[in-house]
């Protein structure tokens, strides 16, 4: 059964393969700005979900809300890196502009590891949609985000997307899909 995706807000939410779950929407915020009762993994889980939902709405500002000013982005396309929030904003605006409407974005096999002030999450990301050229996109790739807790808030300081490549041909292997039976949800 598919549950309709609610209009998201900047509350804690997670989008999985076929549903959106909004959680702790009424949770009080503590002095550090985080929702009480939510652990670090839960906060990062919500951040990853908010970002995917924002991409699926074409909401550039919401995609950047949890991104540090000094972020480094290693994207699947050239150049080798983008540095700084404004450079990432330009790259995301360019990417969103290649679609008719907005892309669909989901993350599966999400794994989150946290410390007190540093964390990372890695996942398999799936983007779908129709490009302005009419070409259909159905692409799976790897995503890793590095986060730092600054002023009580988790921010993405490193964002890395990649495709494996074939060492014989030197070409990216963009047709890969998650293996059948592999986890398709959050691994906490």
CB 33 within 8 A of CB 152: yes
CB 78 within 8 A of CB 165: no
What does pTM read for this prediction? 0.77
Residue 30 clears pLDDT 70, i.e. is over it: no
Q: Is the dihedral of CA 185, 126, 65, 147 positive or negative?
A: positive
| pLDDT, tens only, 63-111 | 999 999 999 999 988 889 999 999 999 999 999 999 999 999 999 999 9
Q: How far apart are CA 13 and CA 57, in angstroms?
A: 15
pLDDT at residue 32, rounded to an integer? 46
Mean pLDDT value of segment 106-129: 96
């Amino acid at each position: 059964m598919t549950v309709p995706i609610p209009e998201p807000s900047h509350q804690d939410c997670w989008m999985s393969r076929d549903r959106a779950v909004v959680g702790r929407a009424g949770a009080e915020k503590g002095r550090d700005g985080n929702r009480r009762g939510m652990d670090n993994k839960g906060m990062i889980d919500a951040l990853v979900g908010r970002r995917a939902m924002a991409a699926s709405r074409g909401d550039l500002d919401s995609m950047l809300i949890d991104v540090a000013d000094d972020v480094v982005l290693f994207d699947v396309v050239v150049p080798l890196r983008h540095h700084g929030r404004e450079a990432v904003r330009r790259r995301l605006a360019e990417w969103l502009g290649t679609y008719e409407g907005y892309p669909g974005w989901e993350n599966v096999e999400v794994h989150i590891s946290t410390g007190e002030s540093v964390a990372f999450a890695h996942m398999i990301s799936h983007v779908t949609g129709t490009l302005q050229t009419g070409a259909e996109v159905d692409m799976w790739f790897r995503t890793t985000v590095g986060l730092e807790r600054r002023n009580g808030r988790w921010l993405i300081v490193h964002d890395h997307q990649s495709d494996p490549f074939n060492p014989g041909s030197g070409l990216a292997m963009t047709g890969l899909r998650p293996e059948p039976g592999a986890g398709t949800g959050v691994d906490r």
